[in-house]
Amino acid sequence: MWPKSFDYIRVNSVEEAITQLNKHEDAKLLAGGHSLLPAMKLRLAEPALLVDIAPLGLTQVSDRGHGWSIGAMATHAHIAANANGALAQAAAGIGDQQVRNFGTIGGNIAHADPASDPPAVLVALGAKIYIRGSGGERNVAAEDFFIDLFTTDLLSDEIITSIYIPRKEGHTNAYAKMAHPASRYALVGVAVDICTQEGHCREVRIGVTGATTHAVRASGAEAVLQGAEINDGNIAQACEAIQADIADQLLGDAAYPEDYRQAMAGVFLGRAIRAATA
Amino acid sequence: MQVAITVNGQTYERDVEPRLLLVHFLREVLDLTGTKVGCDTSQCGSCTVHLDGVALKSCTMLAVQADGREVTTIEGLAQNGELHPMQESFWEHHGLQCGFCTPGMIMASTAFLQQNAEPTEAEIRHNLEGNICRCTGYQNIVRAVQAAANGGDG
Ligand SMILES: Cc1cc2nc3c(=O)[nH]c(=O)nc-3n(C[C@H](O)[C@H](O)[C@H](O)COP(=O)(O)OP(=O)(O)OC[C@H]3O[C@@H](n4cnc5c(N)ncnc54)[C@H](O)[C@@H]3O)c2cc1C
Ligand code: FES
Ligand code: FES
């Protein structure tokens, strides 16, 4: 399938990208193209202008000591090879080799597909999304960035420049995913970031994707674990609680209906907790 | 838009529409029809080529995005009339039946062997997740890749 005709330009600076987005109502940024082009081929998206941001670089995956800075244009393959923990695990499990080579984390979160992996991880890690637009620079917590199905806090003339992940001493994290057998997208994905002391949970954050319209925090499950001993009974209780947390935002289809994904969120939370605390 | 794309070592300058996909540039503009189109959803991998050395689904990139870059297609693997060891291995181990998925399988597996010269069977399967075969059941494809990694004697 051929996409509908459009104009194409390449920009060399973030400012230029913002100017183009401002000037053309129907313009879209083009990063790796691995969400946008499939949508354009199916004519689900018909932008009049593509603004190719490949020349911008923004590909860093760097440990800054106090935290990690991930460029918006870092590919999934680059993150899988150079980051660690849940973020690297999620990146390594995205789609397939070819998709990981060209899809970027900025494009992934801007697109906000409900079945995307990185959003759950960014929510659990307390990441901040750095954004620039005609209004200047701002940052948004990942948990406030994802608003609804394919909907984020991003304005039409804004560009994501980087993602910041704070380092938290004593924390460990993991991502557990049930992949769709054909596309490998997440039917359910759960990320856990946890700090334990003498077998007890001191602090925990949980992010869910796939089962819900957008990535969300599971605060009920977090509350169950907070201060509790990490044992089978308490993990089972948290796995019950997460199903209540997401009950109002469930997503499903004929093959994997809502109640099935809800139950699987419990199962995969258990796996993520065990992996993070192993 | 004017582009200059190097394909199998030769640079082609052409005027293309922005909406032209790289796979159609290869097949219809350059007549390199070894690269296949097997789906509309970026899932089958039969269009896999190398872009600057890494595996890409050429149906999921615009030709204009490849401007100034280097593409290798299945036609570029054989050198001086000698099949590439991966091609030999697919032949030797019966890694194909109809052959439609084969160019993509070979391009995907040669690309990841460059990053991981001695993959386990599980790693081979993981790295071929983006390539669908409707005939073989994959067993002989995995054997062919494993044998090529072991220098042809697996
Ligand atoms: C076969 C297949 C399987 C996949 N499987 C998975 C999977 O298992 N898990 C998963 O998480 N994802 C999966 N994906 C999606 C993949 O991760 C995409 O690469 C990613 O979602 C989009 O990144 P991109 O760079 O390709 O963005 P593009 O397609 O270029 O852009 C996507 C959207 O984001 C906007 N955008 C891009 N960059 C920016 C920026 N810096 N600032 C603001 N807006 C921006 C664009 O305008 C567009 O609207 C799969 C894709 C395919 C084709
Ligand atoms: S043609 Fe199917 S992935 Fe490209
Ligand atoms: S050999 Fe026929 S599709 Fe793979």
**CB of B110 within 8 Å of any CB in chain A?**
no
CA of B119 to the centre of ligand 1 (A): 28
Contact A8 B64 (CB under 8 A): yes
Write out pLDDT tens, residues B27-77. 999 999 999 999 999 999 999 999 999 999 999 999 999 999 999 999 999
Q: pLDDT digits over A171-190, tens only? A: 999 999 999 988 889 999 99
Q: How far is B20 from chain A (nearest CA, A)?
A: 7
| pLDDT at site B152 | 54
Is the four-CA dihedral B100, B101, B102, B103 of positive or negative sign? positive
Q: Which residues contact A55 (CB under 8 A, 6 or more apart)?
A: A10, A11, A12
The answer, for A43 touching chain B at a CB cutoff of 8 Å, is no
Are B33 and B53 part of one and the same domain? yes
**Which H or E run includes A35?**
none
Give chain B's mean pLDDT. 95
Q: CB contact, 8 Å: B78 with chain A? A: no
Asked if B111 and B55 sit in the same domain, the reply is no
Mean pLDDT of chain A: 97
- Flag if B60 and A52 touch (Cβ within 8 Å): no
The beta strands (E) that lie in A167-247 are given as 171-179, 186-197, 200-209, 216-217
Taking each helix axis as running N to C, give the angle between helix B85-92 and helix B102-115, from 0 to 180 degrees, rounded to the nearest 10: 130
CATH number at residue B137: 1.10.150.120
Pick the CATH number of A7-55 from 3.40.50.410, 3.30.43.10, 2.40.50.100, 1.10.150.120: 3.30.43.10
Q: How many CB pairs under 8 A join A and B?
A: 78
What is the tens place of the pLDDT at every residue in A5-59?
999 999 999 999 999 999 999 999 999 999 999 999 999 999 999 999 999 999 9
Q: How confident is the model at residue B151 (pLDDT cuts 50, 70, 90)?
A: confident
Contact of A255 with chain B, judged by CB distance below 8 Å, is answered with no
Q: Is residue B154 domain-resident?
A: no
Domain ranges in chain A are 7-55, 58-166, 171-277
- pTM of the predicted structure, to 2 decimals: 0.96
Report how far residue A214's alpha carbon sits from residue A251's, in angstroms, rounded to the nearest whole number: 9
Indicate whether residue B98 lines ligand 3 (CB < 6 A). Answer: yes
- The pLDDT score that the predictor gives to residue A1 is 75
Among B14, B57, B16, B13, which Cα is nearest to B37's? B57
Token digits for B128? 């071929």
Q: Shortest CA distance to A74 belongs to which of A114, A24, A118?
A: A118
Domain boundary among B76, B106, B121: B76
Does residue B108 sit at the A interface (CB-CB below 8 Å)? yes
> Closest-lying ligand to the alpha carbon of B108?
2
The domain A58-166 having CATH identifier 3.30.465.10: the answer here is yes
Mutate to test the interface with B, among A46, A52, A97 (most CBs of B within 10 A): A97
- Are A38 and B45 within 8 A, CB to CB? no
Residues B62 and B126 in one domain: no
Q: Is the CB of A45 inside 8 Å of chain B's CB atoms?
A: no
| A171-277, CATH topology level | Enolase-like; domain 1 (3.30.390)
Question: Who among A8, A38, A50 is closest to B60 (CB)?
Answer: A38
pLDDT at B153 over 70: no
Name all contacts of A77-85 with Cβ < 8 Å and 24+ positions apart: A77/A101, A77/B54, A79/A105, A85/A172, A85/A173, A85/A174
User: How many angstroms separate the most distant Cα atoms in chain B?
Assistant: 48
Q: How many domains does chain B have?
A: 2
* Domain closes at, from B52, B76, B100: B76
Provide the pLDDT for residue A38. Answer: 97
Instruction: Tell which of A11, A36, A75, A96 to mutate to test the B interface (max B CBs under 10 Å).
Output: A96
Q: Helices marked H in A137-257 — which ranges?
A: 142-145, 219-225, 232-245
Q: List CB contacts (< 8 A) between B65 and chain A.
A: 30, 33, 52, 54
Residue type at position A246: I
Mean pLDDT of A130-138: 96
What does the CA dihedral A166, A171, A172, A177 come to, rounded to 10 degrees? Answer: -60
Report the pLDDT averaged over residues A106-133: 98
What is the average pLDDT across A61-73? 96
CA distance A233 to A134: 51
pLDDT over threshold 90, residue A203: yes
* Domain of residue B138, residue span: 85-149
Return d(Cα B36, Cα A37) in angstroms, integer. Answer: 18
Phi, psi of A91 (to 5 degrees): -60, -40
B50 touches chain A (CB under 8 A): no
Q: Which of residues 74-113 of A touch B (CB under 8 A)?
A: 77, 95-99, 101-102
Question: What is the B95 CA–ligand 2 centroid distance (Å)?
Answer: 20
% of residues, chain A, pLDDT over 90: 97
Q: Hey, how many other C-beta atoms are within 10 angstroms of the C-beta on B134?
A: 11
Which neighbouring-strand residues pair with B48? Answer: B57
Beta bridge partners of A51: A9, A29
Looking up residue B50, the CATH number of its domain turns out to be 3.10.20.30
Task: Report whether residue A180 contacts ligand 1, using a CB cutoff of 6 Å.
Answer: no
Clarify whether residues B44 and B102 are in a common domain: no
Q: Please, are residues A167 and A160 in contact by the beta-carbon 8 Å criterion?
A: no
Which atom belonging to ligand 1 lies closest to the Cα atom of A93? 8
Nearest CB to A8; choose among B1, B108, B112? B1
The upper half-sphere exposure of residue A74, i.e. CA atoms within 13 Å in the direction of its Cβ, equals 26
Order the strands of the A49-52 sheet from edge to edge.
Answer: A7-10, A49-52, A27-30
Confidence category of residue B154, pLDDT binned at 50, 70, 90: very low
Do A58-166 and A171-277 share a fold? no
- Domain shared by B52 and B92, yes or no: no
Same domain, B10 and B65: yes
Closest residue on chain B to A49 (Cα): B18
pLDDT, residue A181, reads: 86
Confidence of residue B93 (pLDDT cuts 50, 70, 90): very high
- Identify which of A265, A267, A224 has the alpha carbon closest to the alpha carbon of residue A247: A265
Residues from chain A contacting residue B60 (CB–CB below 8 Å)? 33-34, 37-38, 98, 102
| Inter-residue contact A87 to A171 (CB < 8 Å) | no
Number of C-beta neighbours around residue B96 at 10 A: 20
Nearest to A54 among B21, B65, B108 (CB): B65
CA distance A153 to chain B (A): 27
Does the residue B130 lie in any domain?
yes
